[in-house]
Amino acid sequence: MTRAGVLAVGLVTPIGEDLPAVLGRARAGETALRPAPGLQDLPDGRAGVVEGPSLVGWLRRKKDARLLPRAAELALPAAGRALLGFAGDFEELGLCVAVGREPPDEGEAEASLAAIARDGQLDYELLGGPGRALYPPLLPLRTLPNMVLAHVAIQHGIRGENGTWAGGAEAGLQALRAALRLVDEGRAAYCLVGAASSEVDLASARDRLRLGRTFPPGEAAIFALIGRGGRPVRPDAAVTAAMRAAIGDCGPVEGMYGVLPG
């Protein structure tokens, strides 16, 4: 086995964007869980919501901002910080990303979806008329979870071996294991691995409650640059638990908080 470890970490969370400070706040029991806009009518309207983040310096073309799903907005600064100072070959840099559920598609499409309803049923004639005319053309691009990976790759010119994993907290660790194997098997000398998720909208939060997930939702992103010679990855349950309490349940991101800085 090649020894691969963490060389750099970048993150965006509701309790900050500086790793030592964020970990310190989480361990000290600080919490960002508070009443969240849009969730006030739910039984527990709290969530861990990131203010911002600022994309200044992390987005090469401002016009790309309209294409970004929320998880990608969180991912870009996190990935960018993990890559600061990286002098390797971006064409061969691996990229493994864990994502949460797809963003719901009824928010922006509300006018279209409402326009195709007749007497509580979907009307096919209206679908081809106002339904089509009102449907936001960019929405499909924002509901694809792998757009997180796409935007990170585009911003940095990353073209190496890659993949997108989905599936709760486990997805973060699956992406991490895949990244370690990429390095171990020699298919990439370095790999950017991370997770980004946001479930603080009404539709996602409502789905969570209906699935019996009563812990408040959160949103965050964390990325790590791994390569040979770094500090070994040690999943740390205490850090994960503290982070969850501080920022909410972020699915795949939660799994990734096992990554410690190199």
Partner 1 sequence: MRDVVITAVGLRCAAGSTPGLPDRSWGRPDPDGASLGVPLVARVDGVGEHVDFPDDRKGALAWAAAADAMVGAPAGGRRGVWLGTGLSSLTPDELVRDLYPHLRDGRFDRKALARDLDPDHPAPRRHLPERVTQVIAAAYGAHVAETSFSACAAAAMSIAEAARAVARGDVDMALAGGHDAMIHPIGLLSFVVLGALSTTVARPFDRRRDGFLIGEGAAVLRLEAESDARARGAPILARWLGAGTSVDAHNVTAPHPDGHGAALAMTRALRDAGLTPADVDYVNAHGTGTPVGDRAESLAIRRVLGDVPVSSFKGAVGHTVAAAGAVELALCLACFRDGLLPGTVGLEEPDPECPANVLVANVAKRPRVILSNSFGFGGQNCAVVIGAP
Residues 113-152 that bind partner 1 (CB under 8 A): 113-117, 120-122, 124-125, 127-128, 131-132, 135-137, 139-141, 143-147, 149-151
> Residue 214 Cβ, how far from partner 1 at the closest point, in Å?
11
Contact status, residue 251 vs residue 37, Cβ threshold 8 Å: no
Q: Does 106 bind partner 1 (CB under 8 A)?
A: yes
Ranges of beta strands (E only) in the chain are: 4-12, 34-35, 46-47, 94-99, 117-118, 121-122, 162-166, 190-198, 219-228, 231-232
159 binds partner 1 (CB under 8 A): yes
| 219-228 and 117-118 beta bridge pairing | unpaired
* Mode of pairing for the β-strands spanning 219-228 and 4-12: antiparallel
The residue from 28, 111, 238, 241 that contacts partner 1 (CB under 8 A) is 111
Among positions 71-100, residues that touch partner 1 (CB under 8 A) are: 91, 95, 99
- List 18, 30, 108, 161, residue binding partner 1 (CB under 8 A): 161
Contact between 160 and partner 1 per CB under 8 A: yes
Nearer to partner 1, 28 or 117 (CB): 117
The CB-of-174 to partner 1 minimum distance in angstroms stands at 5
- From residue 114, give the alpha-carbon distance in Å to each of 117, 127, 136, 142, 207: 6, 10, 13, 20, 20
Q: List the interface residues with partner 1, window 216-245 (CB under 8 A).
A: none
In degrees rounded to 5, what are phi and psi of residue 245?
Answer: -65, -30
- Contact segment (CB under 8 A) with partner 1 among 22-30, 80-88, 169-177, 233-241 equals 169-177
Sole binder of partner 1 in the list 58, 73, 80, 162 (CB under 8 A): 162
Cα–Cα nearest to 101, from 70, 132, 137, 73: 70
